[in-house]
Structure 1
Amino acid sequence: MLLYGLPLAFLAGFIDAVAGGGGTITLPTLLFMGLSPAQAVATNKLLAIFGSGSATAQYWRSGHVERALVLRLIPLALIGSALGAFLVQFVDPDAFRTLIGVVILGVGALVLVNKRFGLEDRYPGLTSRTLALTLPGALVVGMYDGFLGPGTGTFLMFLFALAGFNLVRASGNARTINFATNLGAFLFFLIGGQMVWWIGLSMGVANALGATLGARMAMLRGSAFVKWVYAVIVILVAARLFLGR
């Protein structure tokens, strides 16, 4: 099982650290291994905290995380995630999945059509405009994470790019918030006892190694590299949403 699980976890960590969307690889892999949906979701959160944690550490140490802003957004993302998990029982996930698939394709098109989008850092600081955009944005993306999940990091990157960050710094900010939401979900699933620990821990190490390499590559190659990886991830996330997996 781990002959293909470990390489795919490494690849997912690399991609997730650059542009988000690593779950589009790891969750189907866990299901293919024969885990039940509940076990796959719980185990995926276990391995995800390794990857998102190592990527966050790389970006944080290199100064690519806007700490003053991110620390204000993490509580809202956590609240949104819990609210999304509650609302999932009242909304048809299939209809919502199709809607989000269309939205994320639109986001990807906007990023690619605007050739300068995310390539230059124009973050103005903690202005009223910045907070008016990012505070509700973190809450909404957190709700999506709790409700459905695929592409949460990709949406967070778009939010930070809209706030004026280049895509490398947007990725650093997104990974930090994603780590917090992954940790919160991990603690929630820990109570349920559905995690397959030997798979989650071994794939988590591979995921962390991939994430470390991905974060370093993103910082070395810059926003132009991140932008093209981002475009590929948008297509993968949208495909998973439309296929319902």
Structure 2
Amino acid sequence: MEHVDLTWLFIIMAGGFLAAFVDSVVGGGGLIALPLLLATGMSPTAALGTNKLAGTMSSLTSTLSFIRSGKVNLRLVLYLFPLSLTGAVGGTYAVRHIPSDFLRPLVVVMLILVTLYTFFKKNWGQLSTFSGLKAKSAVWMGIAAFGLGFYDGFFGPGTGSFLIFIFLALGFDFVMAAGNAKVLNFASNIASLAAFVSFGLVNYQYGLPMGAAMIAGSLIGSRMAIRKGSSYVRPMFMAICSLLVGKQVWDLLS
């Protein structure tokens, strides 16, 4: 059994709480959690696997919180859930055979467009206008769920933001969009976590305590989002998108 540094364990749990608080609403928790795990000295792949364990625990918590509050369209997400799960399995398998870094420039462009569109469309996501899927939109949503599941397993950054954007485009308000997105994000997290566990790339000594702290953070974060509504979620969504852009640009240039 590896030695666990108690100081680092405390730092990781505190950082995990903060990461989950943000991630439970608009995603992007890995911006906080991953650097902390890497700082302990574990390998990048082990850090990714450990973060996926803690993130899946957090994701399940916020998913249940949104469902209990009625902020998830269950009929819609039950149709999309297996597609996201299947896509993530394919993406996780593909990343072992194909380098994923070629996607980074495209992701930067997409995140910039998502942020700008949300910024200039001031009233977007304030009220829900969703009235159900028609045949054509059902097909496109199925493709999007599978595609973003694959992307999350293959590369990952910005998945939560892209999911929220798609649900906003369907006519959901920001809180419902966040709730629906969280359920699909949980699906892709399960698939990726299973792969990391099978590869032996999860550090449970750090991952389980971090996951416990992230459960607390996701409970508080999702409840705040549900209580405060779109006026709280919208600026957080744009802030996280902007940070994701900065992180991807930094990785491109470094």
Into which bin does the TM-score normalised by the smaller protein fall? over 0.9
Per the alignment, residue 121 of structure 2 pairs with 114
The structure whose Rg is larger is 2
Within a 5 Å distance, the mapping from 1:29-68 to structure 2 comes to 29-68=36-75
Deviation at residue 223 of structure 1 after TM alignment: 0.8
Q: Percent identity between the aligned chains?
A: 38
Taking the TM superposition and a 5 Å limit, the aligned residue runs for 1:4-83 are 4-83=11-90
Mapping for residues 1-245 of structure 1, pairs under 5 Å = 1-88=8-95, 92-244=99-251
Q: Which runs of 5+ in 2 are unaligned?
A: 1-7
Tell whether the 8 Å contact from 1:94 to 1:244 is kept in structure 2 after alignment: no
The letter of the residue matching 1:57 is: L
Rounded Cα–Cα distance in structure 1 between residues aligned with 2:95 and 2:56: 23
Q: Compute the RMSD of aligned alpha carbons.
A: 1.6
235-244 or 116-125, which moves further after superposition?
235-244
Identify if the C-alpha distance between structure 1 residues 201 and 38 changes in structure 2 by more than 3 Å, giving closer, same or farther.
same
Q: 1:184 and 1:99 mapped to 2: Cα distance?
A: 24
Asked if the contact 1:134–1:163 (Cα under 8 Å) also holds between the matched residues in 2, the reply is no
Structure 1 residue 90: Cα displacement: 6.3
- The residue type paired with residue 218 of structure 1 is A
CA deviation map 1:182-237 (0-9, x unaligned)? 11211221111221101100010111111111100001111121000001100121
Which SS does the other structure have where 1:64 is aligned? coil
Give 2:3's aligned residue. Answer: none
3-state SS of 2:125 partner = coil
Deviates more, 1:60-69 or 1:71-80: 71-80
Amino acid at match of 2:226: M
Question: Does the Cα contact within 8 Å between 1:77 and 1:141 map onto a contact in 2?
Answer: yes
**What is the distance in 1 between the residues matched to 2:114 and 2:97?**
26
Task: Measure the CA separation in 2 of the matches of 1:51 and 1:208.
Answer: 5
Q: Could you tell me which amino acid in structure 2 is paired with residue 73 of structure 1?
A: L
Inter-partner Cα distance in structure 1 for 2:96 and 2:208: 30
Scaled by the length of structure 2, what TM-score is found?
0.91
Return closer, same or farther for 1:89/1:57 CA change in 2, 3 Å cut-off: closer
Query: Cα offset for 1:9?
Result: 0.5
**Cα displacement (A) at 1:3:** 2.9
Structure 2 distance, partners of 1:96, 1:90, is: 15
**1:46-68: CA deviations, max 9, x gaps?**
10111101101110001111111
Q: CA deviation at 1:140?
A: 1.4
Q: How many residues align?
A: 245
Q: Does the CA contact (< 8 Å) of 2:92 and 2:195 recur in 1?
A: no
Distance 1:54 1:11 in 2: 15
Stretches of structure 1 lacking an aligned partner (at least 5 in a row): none
Q: Which amino acid aligns with 2:11?
A: Y
